[in-house]
Amino acid sequence: MEALVPEIPVDGLSTTTGDDDLIDQVEGSPEWTQFRDRLAQDMFDDWDHNYTPDSDNEANASGHNPSDGSPCVGMENTSATASESGTRAGKRKKGSKRKEERQWEERFLDIMQTFSQGTKDSLNGIASRLGFEHDAEKKRSEVFDSLSNMHFLSTEAKMVVTMRLCKNPQELSMFFSLSPENKAVMVKMMQEGRL
Per-position pLDDT tens, the chain of length 195: 555 655 655 555 555 555 555 555 545 667 877 888 888 888 888 888 887 765 444 444 444 455 555 555 544 444 444 444 455 555 555 566 777 788 888 888 889 888 888 888 888 888 777 666 667 778 888 888 888 888 888 989 988 998 898 888 888 888 989 998 999 999 999 989 887
178 contacts: CB under 8 Å, gap ≥ 6: 186
CA dist 82 → 38, 45, 61, 107 (Å): 11, 13, 8, 34
- If 0-12 CB within 10 Å is exposed, 13-18 middle and 19+ buried, where does residue 194 land? exposed
25 contacts: CB under 8 Å, gap ≥ 6: 8, 9, 13
**How far apart are the C-alpha atoms of 80 and 64, rounded to whole Å?**
16
DSSP letter string over 22-89? HHHHHHT-HHHHHHHHHHHHHHHHHHHHHH-S-GGGS--TTSB-TTT-PBPTT-S--HHHHHTTTSHH
User: Contact 139/147 with Cβ under 8 angstroms?
Assistant: no
pTM exceeds 0.75, yes or no: no
User: Contact 20/43 with Cβ under 8 angstroms?
Assistant: no
